Amino acid sequence: MKKELYNFIAKKIPKEDKAKKSIFQSILGIVYDLNIDEKIILDWIKDAENDNIFKTLNFINGGNWINEVKNKNYIPFMVELFECRPIGLGTPNAACGEGELMMILSSKKIFRPTKNDIKIDGQTFNLKNDEPRFFAEVTGKELNKKLIEICKKSGFTPNLFKGKEYVQILNKKFVEEHWNKQFEKTEISKVQELLMTFLFNLFPEKNIKKEDIKNIINNVIINNKLVWDLWVKEVIIFLFKNGNNKNENYVLMNVNGLVNKIPSDLNNFISLINDNKILFSQDYFRMFQDKKVGIYIKFVN
C-alpha cells in the first residue's frame, strides 16, 4: 500500500521530493492513527484515479461535500485528510489550508493552480474554512491619520489604546458607547464628514461617486446616531463592491461537509447580506500598522 500511495501522490502532485515525502508521511500517519484497512486506501486510490470518489463536484458552488462521497467507507479517512495540512503543497515552507489536499487528491479533475487553492475545469477557487477577510486599499496608519485629522477639526474625541489615539468606527461597542454619545451632541454635518472620510479613504485611488457615499450615510444615521446593524452591512457591501475580493472565488468548506460559495455577482452578494446569510464577524482594521485594513465575515447556514 505504501508504494501505491507514494506513487499516487507523486503523480498527482508534481512537487520536489521533500514536499512529496511530507505529504506521504502525513497521509500515512492518518492511515495508522485510524487503523484503516489498507484495502480501503487502495480502493480509494483507484477510485480517485478513475474520478469515482464524488458523485458530482457541483457542491463547490454550495452544498455538502460529504454527502457527495459515493463510498461511505472513505468518509472517516477523507474527514481526517480534510484537516491534513502538510508543508509543501503550495509555498515550499508553508502548510496548506484545510481541505486543499483532500480535494486535490480525490479527483483527477482537481489541480493545484499557480494562483488560489484549487482548480476545477479551468476555474480556480480560494478555499476558506469559515471566516474570509475582505480588504480595503489603504493601510491602518494612513486611514487613522485621515480620521484623526477630521476628529480634531470637528471636536470628536478619538479612541485611546495604550496612550495612542485611533478611530475605530467598525466596532459595535465603540459605535454605541463611544461615538454615538458624541454624535448625538453635535451637528449632523460633522458626523457625515467623519463617515465620508472613512469610506472614501478605504479606496483612495478609486473614483467613487460622492453621491453614492452620501446615500450610504443617509441610510445609516437616524436621529444623529449611527445605527450599527445598518452601518456594518453597508461597509461589508462597500468593501466587496470596490475591492478585489469578489474576484477570489471564495469557497467556505468545513470538515463537517458544509460548503458555501461567496458569489462574485454584486446583487447576489447583497441579497445574502440582506437575508443575514453573510454576517460581519470581527474587525481586522489594524489602525497602527502599515498593512491594509479589512474585516472578517462569516456565512450562516
**For residue 88, is pLDDT > 70?**
no
What does 179-199 look like in DSSP terms, one character per residue?
IHHHHTTS-HHHHHHHHHHHH
User: What integer is the mean pLDDT of 13-19?
Assistant: 75
Q: ∠ CA 213-217-218 to the nearest 5 degrees?
A: 115
User: According to the model, what pLDDT value does residue 289 have?
Assistant: 86
Residue 230 reports pLDDT greater than 70: yes
224-228 contacts, C-beta under 8 A, 24 or more apart = 224/183, 224/184, 224/186, 224/188, 224/191, 225/180, 225/183, 225/184, 226/169, 226/175, 226/179, 226/180, 226/183, 226/191, 226/195, 228/172, 228/175, 228/176
Long-range contacts of 16-23 (CB under 8 A, 24+ apart): 16/88, 16/92, 18/88, 19/86, 19/87, 19/88, 19/89, 19/92, 20/88, 22/86, 22/87, 22/88, 23/86, 23/88, 23/89, 23/101
User: What is the reported pLDDT for 170?
Assistant: 92
The answer, yes or no, to whether residue 6 has pLDDT greater than 70, is yes
- What's residue 113's pLDDT? 85
* Half-sphere exposure in the Cβ direction for 32 (13 Å, CA): 8
pLDDT at 90: 63
Average pLDDT, the chain: 91
Q: In this predicted structure, which of 101-110, 127-136, 257-266 has the lowest mean pLDDT?
A: 127-136
Mean pLDDT of 82-91: 78
pLDDT band at 93 (very low <50, low <70, confident <90, very high): low
- pLDDT level of residue 19 (50, 70, 90 thresholds): confident
Structure confidence at residue 20 (pLDDT) = 82
Does pLDDT of 111 surpass 70? yes
145-167 pLDDT, tens digit per residue, is 999 999 999 999 999 988 899 99
Q: What is the mean pLDDT of residues 180-196?
A: 96
Q: Which residues of 144-154 are buried (b: 16+ CB within 10 A; e: fewer)?
A: bebbbebbeeb
Residue 117's nearest CA partner among 90, 95, 142 is: 90
pLDDT attached to residue 22? 85
Residue 95, pLDDT above cutoff 80: no
Of the candidate ranges 43-57, 147-161, 196-210, 238-252, the one whose mean pLDDT is the lowest: 238-252
Say what percent of the chain tops pLDDT 70. 98
The pLDDT of residue 268 is above 90: yes
The confidence score (pLDDT) of residue 91 equals: 65
pLDDT of residue 85: 87
Return the amino acid letter for 244: N
pTM of the predicted model as reported, rounded to 2 decimal places? 0.86
- Identify the pLDDT of residue 205: 92
